[in-house]
A and B are shown apart, each in its own frame.
Chain A
Amino acid sequence: MNMREKIQTAAARYPDQRSAIMPALLIAQKEHGHLPGPVLEEIADILDVERIWVYELATFYTLFHTEPVGMFHLQLCDNVSCMLRGAEDLLEHLEVVLGIKKGDTTPDGLFTLTTVECLGACEVAPVMQVGDDYHGDLNIARIDALLDRLRAVVGQATGAGIAAVAPPGE
């Protein structure tokens, strides 16, 4: 299915097309990596809804990115449970080894580093989400091993999508 068909299939679940904006944004973001203006306008056209409705959701909810993110989006939880298990040290380490500050993307476009609110996996704190995968019980050695795996994946991947080369869980 192309993006339009996926969005139309999702829209059939609701009596009101406006409800399908959020699913449409998630579908479009999976397709494009982020949500630039023209994509938002395409969604409005597909669903035949006001453009402002699409824009306001894309900018209200934190999972939507209107700016490009790196191939691997490192989302480190630093909420209380993870903070109590050393998330701050992990953030500092990631900033040093990646050579960027949180919120930034490495110049090669591989990694974007952000901190996020509770990921709901506090039993294995500290936790980081990379793409669709959760990585728990993290420490500096495991973070280094994870970064090595991600870099190796890029080395091997030739034309494969990120989903197809998702790193194994911890």
Chain B
Amino acid sequence: MFEPVLLRNVDVPDGHLLATYRASGGYQALAKALDEHTPDEIIDLVKASNLRGRGGAGFPTGLKWSFVPKRAGKPKYLCCNADEGEPGTFKDRIIMERDPHQLIEGMAISAYAIGAETAYVYIRGEYTLAIQRLEQAIAEAHAQGYLGARIQGSDFNFVVHIHCGAGAYICGEETAMLDSLEGKRAQPRLKPPFPAVEGLYASPTVVNNVETLACVPHIVARGADWFRDIGPDKSPGPKLYCLSGQVRKPGLYELPMGISLRELVEDRAGGPLPGRKIKAVIPGGVSAPLIPAHGLDVGMDFDSLAAAGSMLGSAGVIVIDDSTCMVKVATRIIEFFHHESCGKCTPCREGLNWVVKVLRRIEAGQGAPGDLEQLEALCKGIFGNTFCALGDGAAMGLRAALVHFKHEFVAHIEERRCPYH
């Protein structure tokens, strides 16, 4: 039986308060890190754990930290990406609302490891309750000496500031988020230089996701072997899965990395709604190519899903049943990407505009022969030719719908109507 770690406090009354967090063993990992480990030892520990970034890209966290220069001659920054915008994803919100100290402890240990004294949490402006709870938790942690000067009697000083976002999906891309933090429009930067060398205010910066940082105290407390023993060796650890859509028990589930998508959807989340059959599942937020019902026996980890032609992304698992028109789903996904395109590069800004127009006319029963070839040509013009992964995500998502549900697109064009209306 898998014991929840990241969600251990979320259903506890007052789980957001320091007293509750401490009663569950909270802040012992920070004390241990400061007492028993050098910063480099913490980096080595996180490397050994094989923790990979939970924001979507799956980059090894310890390796990312190790790119920060030891002697920079400038302040270093830790930024927590809490701008959770990937449709179908709500895990970071729940951590911040119900167990914010877990994030603060993770940030403190991570900042100690990379030598940062200041952190910013870039959090969605819509997340009012999460912002309030995190503000309260930061104040409590300060009052108890878990943040501030000379933390727990050590030489380590660390403060956390909250920075509210204002509605821009592109801030999920770390360099766009850094530009936004600097008071600019959120648009991705040309890399290199990478943030570890030149990030916020041109200083060495690490950007990590909320869930990634929340894993860190547990790795320090229980060891790298404990973490690596959960799930696949190359992509291990406890994982938060966000279940939504046409499924009986939508919600947040903590289970080992690598659990099968079928078990997650059919057993844990109760399967399809009464009288319905699953048609497809989007496994990692709308950027992740959908998987048709016959492909659900795939492990929910970075490598297994990549091998299956999709991705784990943010683990936003969206279940789609047989009452739903796939052309409509594809259209809605591309409308989203088109709306959120930052406008910096032409293939994404213009390409998605054309894709939306073609999809809308197909859905409206006004599609023309040749439209599907047109869509593929547009995908080809976008994929691999954009500044960041936003355009790629859109093209990959559309291609998956075109490949697995081509018959639905064809039916719309041939019958000159949406068969689901």
Any B CB within 8 A of the CB of A38? no
CA distance A119 to B128 in the complex (A): 11
Closest B-chain residue to A133, C-beta based?
B128
- What are 5 A-to-B residue pairs whose CB atoms are below 8 Å? A23-B163, A53-B183, A62-B166, A79-B336, A123-B90
Cross-chain contact A22 with B167 (CB below 8 angstroms): no
Contact among B164, B251, B328, B332 with A26 in the assembled complex (CB-CB below 8 Å): B164
Known: A17-B183, A63-B166, A122-B89. 20 other contacts (CB 8 A): A15-B201, A18-B184, A19-B183, A63-B167, A78-B332, A79-B336, A80-B318, A80-B333, A81-B245, A84-B319, A84-B324, A121-B90, A122-B88, A122-B90, A122-B245, A122-B316, A123-B90, A123-B250, A125-B244, A129-B126
Cross-chain contact B168 with A132 (CB below 8 angstroms): no
Contact among B161, B167, B252, B340 with A123 in the assembled complex (CB-CB below 8 Å): B252
Known: A62-B167, A117-B87. A18 touches B182 (CB 8 A): yes
CA distance A83 to B319 in the complex (A): 12
Cross-chain contact B85 with A117 (CB below 8 angstroms): yes
119-163 of chain A: CB within 8 A of chain B: 119-125, 129, 132-134
99-151 of chain B: CB within 8 A of chain A: 124-129
The distance from the CB of A65 to the nearest CB of chain B, in whole angstroms, is 11
Any A CB within 8 A of the CB of B242? yes
Cross-chain contact B245 with A79 (CB below 8 angstroms): no
Any A CB within 8 A of the CB of B169? yes
Closest B-chain residue to A20, C-beta based?
B183
Cross-chain contact B90 with A19 (CB below 8 angstroms): no
Cross-chain contact A23 with B84 (CB below 8 angstroms): no
CA distance A32 to B93 in the complex (A): 28
Contact among B93, B126, B164, B332 with A79 in the assembled complex (CB-CB below 8 Å): B332
Describe B's contact surface by its main secondary structure: mixed
Closest B-chain residue to A53, C-beta based?
B183
The distance from the CB of B379 to the nearest CB of chain A, in whole angstroms, is 19
CA distance A18 to B329 in the complex (A): 39
Any A CB within 8 A of the CB of B45? no
Q: How many residues from A make CB contacts under 8 Å with B?
A: 43
Any B CB within 8 A of the CB of A85? yes
Any A CB within 8 A of the CB of B9? no
1-56 of chain A: CB within 8 A of chain B: 13-23, 25-26, 49, 53, 56
CA distance A141 to B231 in the complex (A): 44
Q: Which 5 A-B pairs have the closest CB atoms?
A: A18-B183, A61-B166, A122-B244, A62-B167, A118-B87
Known: A26-B164, A64-B166, A129-B126. A118 touches B201 (CB 8 A): no
Any A CB within 8 A of the CB of B246? yes
CA distance A25 to B332 in the complex (A): 30
The distance from the CB of B187 to the nearest CB of chain A, in whole angstroms, is 9
Chain A contacts of B316 at CB under 8 A?
A: 122
Contact among A16, A56, A123, A134 with B244 in the assembled complex (CB-CB below 8 Å): A123
Cross-chain contact B163 with A22 (CB below 8 angstroms): yes
Any A CB within 8 A of the CB of B196? no
Cross-chain contact B164 with A81 (CB below 8 angstroms): no
Any A CB within 8 A of the CB of B265? no
Cross-chain contact A57 with B185 (CB below 8 angstroms): yes
Contact among A25, A78, A84, A120 with B84 in the assembled complex (CB-CB below 8 Å): A120
CA distance A85 to B248 in the complex (A): 11
Closest B-chain residue to A118, C-beta based?
B87
Chain B contacts of A120 at CB under 8 A?
A: 84-85, 89-90, 92-93, 124, 126-127
Chain B contacts of A83 at CB under 8 A?
A: 328-329, 332
Chain B contacts of A56 at CB under 8 A?
A: 184-185
Produce 1/0 per residue, B250-274, CB < 8 A to A: 1110000000000000000000000
Produce 1/0 per residue, B158-176, CB < 8 A to A: 0001011111110000000
CA distance A38 to B385 in the complex (A): 41
Cross-chain contact B183 with A57 (CB below 8 angstroms): yes
Chain A contacts of B251 at CB under 8 A?
A: 123
Closest A-chain residue to B92, C-beta based?
A120
Cross-chain contact B87 with A79 (CB below 8 angstroms): yes
The distance from the CB of B118 to the nearest CB of chain A, in whole angstroms, is 9
Any A CB within 8 A of the CB of B339? yes
Chain B contacts of A60 at CB under 8 A?
A: 168, 185-186
Known: A117-B85, A132-B128. A125 touches B181 (CB 8 A): no
Cross-chain contact A117 with B336 (CB below 8 angstroms): yes
CA distance A83 to B19 in the complex (A): 40
The distance from the CB of A149 to the nearest CB of chain B, in whole angstroms, is 18
**Central interface residue in B90, B164, B324, by most chain A CB within 10 Å:** B90
Cross-chain contact B90 with A80 (CB below 8 angstroms): no
Any A CB within 8 A of the CB of B394? no
Chain A contacts of B7 at CB under 8 A?
A: none
Known: A63-B166, A118-B87, A132-B128. A22 touches B332 (CB 8 A): no
CA distance A84 to B164 in the complex (A): 29
CA distance A116 to B125 in the complex (A): 13
CA distance A127 to B51 in the complex (A): 33
Contact among A25, A85, A118, A134 with B88 in the assembled complex (CB-CB below 8 Å): A118
Cross-chain contact A16 with B183 (CB below 8 angstroms): yes
Chain A contacts of B286 at CB under 8 A?
A: 79-80
Cross-chain contact A16 with B201 (CB below 8 angstroms): yes
